[in-house]
Amino acid sequence: MAPKRKGGTPADRARAIETAQGLLAAGRLAEAEELLRRGIPSPSKDAQALRLRGWIAERNNQPAEMKALAEKSLRIESHPEGHLILAQYHLRNDESDLALASAEAALEVDPNHRPTRMMLSAILLERGRIEDAATVIVPLQTDPPTDAAEARRLGYTEANILSRGGDFQAAIDHLDSTVLADPSLHGERKPGLALKAKILDQLGRYEEAFVAAETFNAMERVPFDAHRFKREIDGIINQYDRETLDRFPIGFESDLPVFVTGMPRSGTSLVDRIIDAHPMAGGVGEFTGIEQVAARLQAETDPRLPVPECFGSMQSPQWKAEGERYVQRLRRMMPGAERVVNKSLMNANLLGVIARLLPGSRVIHVLRDPRDVAISCMMGEFRPSAMPWTTRLDWIASVWDTSRRLMNHWEKVLDLPILEVRYENLVADPATEFPRIIDFLGLPWDDACLEFHATGRPLRTLSHDQVCRPLYTSSVGRHAHYANEIADVEWPVLDP
C-alpha cells in the first residue's frame, strides 16, 4: 500500500522540500524522491519539487526522466535551475549548442544566479572560449562566495581556466589552496583531483599524476565483476550466430547510417570528427536511437520461442518501420548528409540488431593499445555508475579483451561491412588512413577532413582537447610513462 500523502499546509511543504534537499545533498536519492512524490501536495504541479526530482534523475543516470521533469517545471515556472537541468541533459548527449543555449537562458532569467554562471563558464571552456569563460565568473570573484561548497566550485573553475590558458603550475597551486585544501570535504574534490592529475601528466610529473588519478577513481568506485561481464558477452555471442541471424526479421535498408565502435579513449571521437568534417557527412555523437529500439524489442521478446516467433508483434513490417524511423531521425538531425555517424558506446553490443534492422549500414571499429586506453580512462572522469570498469587498470584490461572478442565474432557472422582502424596508424599516417575511412563510406575525398579540428559541430567529450586541435602523436605509447604502475596487470596483446 502506498504511503499517504502528507504536507497539507505551506509550512509542511516547505519542511518537506528542505528535508528533500538535505537528502539529495547526502546522496540518499531514493528517500528524497519518495518524499517529493508523497510528502507534498500536488507534486506534479510543484515546480521546485520537479526541479529537485530532475537533479535526482541526473544523479541516477536517467537522462530522459531529467529532461521531462525539467521541461515540466519550466512550463509551470521559468527558473534558472530548470534551464540548468536541461543544459546538463544536453551536455550528457553531446549537444553543446543546446547546452550553451539552455545555460544562457538560465542567465537571462536571473543574471545573479551563481550556479548558472559556474555552469556557463564550464560550457564555454569546453568550447575553447577561455576569455569568455573567465568573463562570466567575474561577478562571482567580485562578490566572493560565503558558502564553502560554492567556493570550492569557483576554485575549480578558476583553476580550469588557468590550465586551459597554459598556466599549469598556477592551476595546481590554486587547486591545492581551494578545492583540495581540506581532505575531509568531498564536494568538488573528485573533479579537482581529476583536473590535477591531467595537469601533472601534462607537466611530465607522471608518478604524482597517477597517485591523483588513483585517488579520485577510488572515491566513487563501484564494484565490477569482470567474469560476469565476460558471461554477458558470451551470451550475446551465443545468441547471435549466423544461422540464427538469418532467421531474424528484415528492417529498412539505407546506406545513411554509420556506426563507430571502440573502447572509450580509443580514438572513436577522432574518427567521428574526421567524418563530420566532410561536407557530405555528419555526426550525431552518442545518439541513443538504437538503444531505444533494442529496449522495445527486448520488451516484446519471449526467449522460450524460436526466432522469429520470439519477437511477438515485432516482425518484419515492424522492424522495417523502426529502421525507417531511425533513418528519418538522422535525416532531421543532419539534413543533406549522405552518411551520418553514431558513436554510441553501446554500438558494439547491438551490432547483431543493427545488422538486421538497418541493412546497408557501415561499421568502423577503432582499436588502440589497451595500455594507452587504460591510462587515458584512469585520467578521465567517467561516471562510475555507467562504466564502473574505468576506475581500475585490471578491469579496463579485461573489458578491452572481452570487447575485442565480441568484435571478432561480429566480423565472422555479420553481413555488414566492418572497417578496422588502428589509432596508432591513424595519427601516424593520416595521408593514408583518413582517405581509407572516407573511401570506406563511399564518399569522394575532401581536404576538409584534414582540418577536422577546425570544422564540424561543437563537441563535448573527454577527448575534446584532442579532437579540437591538429593531429599529434604524443599520445601513442603514453603508457611507457607509467611502466611501474601498469607492470602488475596482465595486458591483452594487440597484434601489430
pLDDT in tens, 302-333: 989 999 999 999 999 999 999 999 999 999 99
The pLDDT of residue 119: 94
The total domain count for the chain is: 2
The answer to the question of residue 407 being in a domain is: yes
Domain boundary among 219, 237, 252: 219
Nearest to 351 by CA among 276, 420, 294, 307: 294
The model's confidence at residue 456, banded by pLDDT at 50, 70 and 90, is: very low
Between strands 257-261 and 281-283, the pairing is unpaired
Domain contains 39: no
Check residues 285 and 177 and name the one with the higher pLDDT: 177
Q: For residue 358, what pLDDT is reported?
A: 97
Q: Is the pLDDT of residue 491 over 90?
A: yes
Residue 137 lies in a domain: no
Residue-level pLDDT at 417: 97
- Cα–Cα distance between 244 and 294 in angstroms, integer? 17
Residue range 151-201, pLDDT digits in tens: 899 999 999 999 999 999 999 999 999 999 888 776 678 999 999 999 999
Per-residue confidence (pLDDT) for residue 409, from 0 to 100: 97
- Listed residue (284, 276, 475) closest to 377, CA to CA: 475
Question: Among 219, 237, 272, where does a domain finish?
Answer: 219
The CATH number that applies at residue 188 is 1.25.40
Last-in-domain residue among 219, 250, 266 = 219
- C-alpha distances in angstroms, 89 versus 83, 86, 98, 138? 10, 5, 9, 26
Asked whether residue 281 falls in the same domain as residue 212, the answer is no
Are both 193 and 302 inside the same structural domain?
A: no
Give the pLDDT band (50/70/90) at residue 471: low
Using 50, 70 and 90 to split pLDDT, how confident is the model at 470? low
| Residues 201 and 253 placed together within one structural domain of the fold | no
The grid coordinates of residue 299 equal 520488451
Residue 365 falls inside a structural domain: yes
**Do residues 193 and 266 share a domain?**
no
Instruction: Indicate whether 211 and 273 sit together in one domain.
Output: no
What single-letter amino acid sits at 478? R
In whole angstroms, give the CA distance from residue 258 to residue 284: 10
State the chain's mean pLDDT as an integer.
90
Phi, psi of 437 (to 5 degrees): -65, -50
**Which of 59-68, 91-100, 410-419, 452-461 is the least confident region?**
452-461
Give yes or no: residues 263 and 316 share one domain: yes
% of the chain at pLDDT higher than 70: 94
Domain with 326 in it: 227-486
